[in-house]
Chains A and B, each alone.
Chain A
């Protein structure tokens, strides 16, 4: 049987770990989206070698498990002079992982802008930068938003992997409680509850943004 009083007793300790998960998640999502936008723009406007190098790197990231990338950075980093503490290492790995996926989503968004929308701006004398800012980016934002929200939720699930390099986040804190008290069921129940709460919060934000964009009738179905 689930013991509610045990769950309540653990709450204060777990809240601290939840805060760690939440901030690492939010930071890696924000930095990841920023990196994704940067990568997408560099691939679009940069010289061809840059495009190819980024394409190769993205395929490497997307083609391997996050756990492997995290180990490579944390344990392999010192061999190339990159010794990071668990939290910065985890944040960096998660940001790179997120940026790779986000950049592909954003690139797809740019491809979905009809060329005629860009031509209409060019005919009116918009510069490339003005067209990007006033026409392309708003259209891309509306089209990619649902996919970005999805990816951000996947990113939350990957934060659990950071426990293997001893980042004091939710999964690590709760498995510690579980193995000390042998109350694994309660601990896992608590864990699921917290992740569910975080995902719901993200979903609410996403739906709010989508509702605002839906006014234009450009949000993806």
Chain B
């Protein structure tokens, strides 16, 4: 298989990515560059493979074929003349700790306080002293506006607060790249704003972000690049203006019709 060379300066490059679950092909040859310092939004109908693509970018799913490069470093596998070779676990962990992942379900650890959740990786992975780790964790909580909730356990926080703690946790190791999988989808509508605001601020500070979201309004206003997935392929890709401009691709039109009630009206 021939794959295009990865673009220089891309924070993350995906080349020829194929993912099968059994004989169900979910991703059919994805090529995507995530430019550094910009927000890339993945949109598309349910089941189109957005989460799977994002999970492959974090090596939470192993691609069936193709490569993922993070800052030029291969993640998980390298292609050699003898075929694909799995990298040692320590290499995978090293590349991964440059990536922050935020999940739809927050996935905070229930037995740790907000501060504990954010400080854990600093203690366990970076091996910092408790005081140093907690000071840095507190600074992260401050950036998401939750320093006042540091001692609360996840069960004592609202969904929006939990997601903001989860963002602070993902930022703790100062990643160069943040991945978000529908970060607001399990929140009550009145709580999505606080999370989107934190994300907007991150984007304004120049964080490289890949965001899977049904918030088309967010994608159109914050994203520098939008990729529209359909049936495991990237059907359209470009700036929001290019992708959402009329006349639109019929598949995109069909998809947007389902979301017009959710902030997409501003695009029409």
Binding site for B on A (CB under 8 A): 114, 116-117, 119-127, 130, 134-135, 138-139, 142, 213, 215-218
Check B40 for interface membership: any CB of A closer than 8 A.
no
| Interface residues contributed by chain B, number (CB under 8 Å) | 31
Q: How far is the CA of A124 from the CA of B153 in the complex (A)?
A: 20
User: From residue 209 to 230 of chain B, which have CB atoms closer than 8 A to chain A?
Assistant: none
Contact of B111 among A114, A116, A218 (CB under 8 A): A218
**Smallest beta-carbon distance A215→chain B, Å:** 7
Given A123-B58, A124-B97, A125-B94, A116-B107 contact (CB < 8 Å): yes
Given the complex of chains A and B, what is the CA–CA distance between A152 and B232 in angstroms?
Answer: 52
CA distance in complex: A176, B205 (Å)? 81
Contact status B110-A218, CB under 8 Å: yes
> Knowing A123-B58, A123-B60, A125-B97 touch, does A117 contact B107 (C-beta < 8 A)?
yes
B68 to chain A, nearest CB (A): 14
B64 interface residue (CB < 8 Å to A): no
Nearest Cβ on chain A to B151's Cβ, whole angstroms: 11
A116-B105, A217-B153 given; A123·B170 CB < 8 A: yes
Interface residues of B (CB under 8 A from A): 58, 60, 89, 93-94, 96-97, 99-101, 103, 105, 107-112, 120-121, 124-125, 153-156, 166, 169-170, 172-173
Extra pairs beyond A124-B125, A124-B173, A139-B109 (19, CB < 8 Å): A114-B107, A116-B103, A117-B107, A119-B103, A119-B107, A120-B103, A123-B58, A123-B101, A124-B120, A124-B170, A125-B96, A127-B93, A130-B124, A134-B120, A135-B109, A215-B153, A217-B110, A217-B155, A217-B156
Q: Give, as a whole number of angstroms, the nearest-CB distance from A142 to chain B.
A: 6
Of the candidates A117, A123, A126, A134, the one having the most CB atoms from chain B within 10 angstroms of its own CB is A123
Q: How far is the CB of B36 from chain A (nearest CB, A)?
A: 20
**Residues of A contacting B121 with CB < 8 Å?**
124-126
Within 8 Å CB of B109, what residues of A?
117, 120-121, 134-135, 138-139
When distances are taken between beta carbons in the complex, the residues of chain A under 8 Å from B166 are: 120
Complex alpha-carbon distance, A126 and B127, angstroms: 11
Q: A216-B153, A216-B155, A217-B156 are in contact. Are A123 and B110 (CB under 8 A)?
A: no
